[in-house]
Homo-oligomer: A and B are copies of this chain.
């Protein structure tokens, strides 16, 4: 398709990609939606590349968030590689969004790899005993339960949760977008959430 100035602007707003990348994607794609998809795939690849470089992430910010009433509080450490990125608005906004997410959804873990194997196994066993599962054919149960376990646990994993401000993307995707924008790996290092009297 043709890359009109108007569509380049629209695509930039939607994906956050650079003007040249947008123009190229529009020219390669047959429809506007396809251009969006192309850019997203490219962005995801770029984020993966940055993450795989394994550069040290020891800079960053400690951020906190308190509900007006003082009944819920969150403390978060978000890491990146340079002080320059730590002081950027994109990074600060991400830190703030993550605090809001944690305050609202009380995740237990940061990423999948933090879920202890015992927890996953205990839940799997429990679900295998579920009458609704036992009614299904024996050879299908494993697969059904695996899906259920994944679904239930991912609601407790911060990076797997749907973002509270836009549930079409996960929190992990939100972080990846800032990784792509800043060109620097960003790691949610740790968080603590207190609820009053809990």
**A119: CB under 8 A from chain B?**
no
B62 touches A72 (CB 8 A): yes
**A74: CB under 8 A from chain B?**
yes
**A196: CB under 8 A from chain B?**
yes
Contact pattern, A 46-63, Cβ under 8 Å of B = 1, otherwise 0 = 000000000000111111
**A134: CB under 8 A from chain B?**
no
Distance A194 CA – B95 CA, assembled complex (angstroms): 15
Give, as a whole number of angstroms, the nearest-CB distance from A145 to chain B: 36
A side interface size, CB within 8 A: 25
Contact pattern, A 159-198, Cβ under 8 Å of B = 1, otherwise 0 = 0000000000000000000000000000000101011110
Give the dominant DSSP class at A's interface.
strand
**A64: CB under 8 A from chain B?**
yes
**A73: CB under 8 A from chain B?**
yes
B196 touches A61 (CB 8 A): yes
What are the residues of chain B within 8 A of A70 when measuring CB–CB? 60-63, 86
Distance A79 CA – B194 CA, assembled complex (angstroms): 12
Known: A194-B190, A196-B77. A71 touches B62 (CB 8 A): yes
Q: Taking CB as reference atom, which chain B residue is nearest A61?
A: B70
CB < 8 Å neighbour of A73 from B62, B67, B195, B196: B62
B77 touches A75 (CB 8 A): no
Known: A74-B75, A75-B74, A86-B70. A197 touches B61 (CB 8 A): no
Distance A188 CA – B85 CA, assembled complex (angstroms): 36
B58 touches A64 (CB 8 A): no
What are the residues of chain B within 8 A of A197 when measuring CB–CB? 58-60, 79
**A66: CB under 8 A from chain B?**
yes
Distance A49 CA – B60 CA, assembled complex (angstroms): 46
Residues of A within 8 A of B (CB): 58-67, 70-75, 77, 79, 86, 190, 192, 194-197
